[in-house]
Amino acid sequence: MATIATRVVEGLGLGHAKLHALSPKHPSPFLGKKLRSQSLSLPSKRAISNLVCAAGGGFFNLVHDVFLGVGVGLPCTVMECGDIIYRSTLPRSNGLTLTVPGAVLALGALSYLWATPGVAPGFFDMFVLAFVERLFRPSFKKEDFVLGKKLGEGAFGVVYRVSLAKKPGAKEGDLVLKKATEYGAVEIWMNERVRRACANSCAYFVYGFLESSAKKGSEYWLLWRYEGESTLTDLMLSKEFPYNVESMILGEVPDMPKGLERENKIIQTIMRQLLFALDSLHSTGIVHRDIKPQNILFSEGSRTFKIIDLGAAADLRVGINYIPKEFLLDPRYAAPEQYIMSTQTPSAPSAPVATALSPVLWQLNLPDRFDIYSAGLIFLQMVSKKYWYVAYCYYFYLFIFGKETQLLNMILGILPRPATSCT
């Protein structure tokens, strides 16, 4: 190393010395080039000029040779370890590589995000649809309506048929207005969720608002589009049931004599509409908890039965109106358990966390069966007007022995309704 440094000094300090790179006879432990000096005659002026022009490039080459000669540089460059050549021979991927474990993991994640009640749809509804809806929805006050006929009164409020006061072309009573005495905020939340997710399952909700006054305090008002007055209870009280519903849901009276086959067709149509409406509610995470004939409305426009009165409903996607050890129900139609989920279930956390965990809780508790039990009792009530003993025996047999699939098939018409025996 001292010899190389001495030669460098001589090459820089003497006019008669010039540096040359020679190939060694034996391999050097360095990648640097060995240097030696060679005596030359004094250069001419022209040679000196050419040397000055090339001094820049030669100087940098000299510095590079010195650094490599003393072993200063990247390890693989100095030591010739061959790592550069090894890495250059490795296969290079220009895109994503699909593997079986990766595909299974991706499919599992997608299945979880769209599993009932729906994590991905829940976040989209919460942060996108709800926000956009608030920007464009209309706003009303109580003074904007002219009260008409009183349609009904229940435990949670009073319902009126109304029309807009400032809309000259509006039909008389083309809207329904409810003053909620309890659970008004909850019912507004549920109806807005249903309108965005499954509007055809329930009566079409228009708007909900809160009004405060010094005399009456705060009152919640809810507004729906008028779709009809007849509930399933009203229709079932008629002696002509189920034939009085036939023309309403089928549009025409079939050319066949009255009898069991004709009644089966009518009742199966009613139950099919009710179960499809419940399925839409459950798929978005809402359990009604108060399914009964009084809360099933016949829509004259669509010729279908729709669900009303969501004041007792629980939104299990985000945990709204759900308290583990409390329940809202009608004991005449409620399941014996009285709870939609285990009482050991903790209270709902924040909405994003509850949404992320909702598929797990749903699969562990299957809360939708609460409403299906109530629907089964309605089915029993409809068929029991003439065949109550046969229907009760068959329904009891299917439910007690866990044959829910046969029960649903019977309701939907895949199996006939029993007519003569209780087996």
Q: Which residues are annotated as a binding site for ATP?
A: 178
Give the amino acid at 160: Y
Rounded Cα distance, 423 and 387, in Å? 14
- Cis before 242 (ω within 30): yes
Burial of 330 per CB tally in 10 Å (0-12, 13-18, 19+): middle
Q: Where are the alpha helices (DSSP H) in 237-368?
A: 243-250, 260-283, 351-365
CA distance to 262, 265, 419, per residue, from 236 (Å) = 16, 16, 20
Burial of 272 per CB tally in 10 Å (0-12, 13-18, 19+): middle
| DSSP E strand stretches across 105-216 | 145-154, 157-164, 175-180, 205-213
Rounded Cα distance, 140 and 52, in Å? 91
Assess whether 279 carries a catalytic annotation. no
C-beta neighbour count of 294 within 10 angstroms? 17
Rounded Cα distance, 423 and 409, in Å? 17
Name the active-site residue from 125, 290, 315, 368.
Answer: 290
Catalytic residue numbers, as ranges: 290
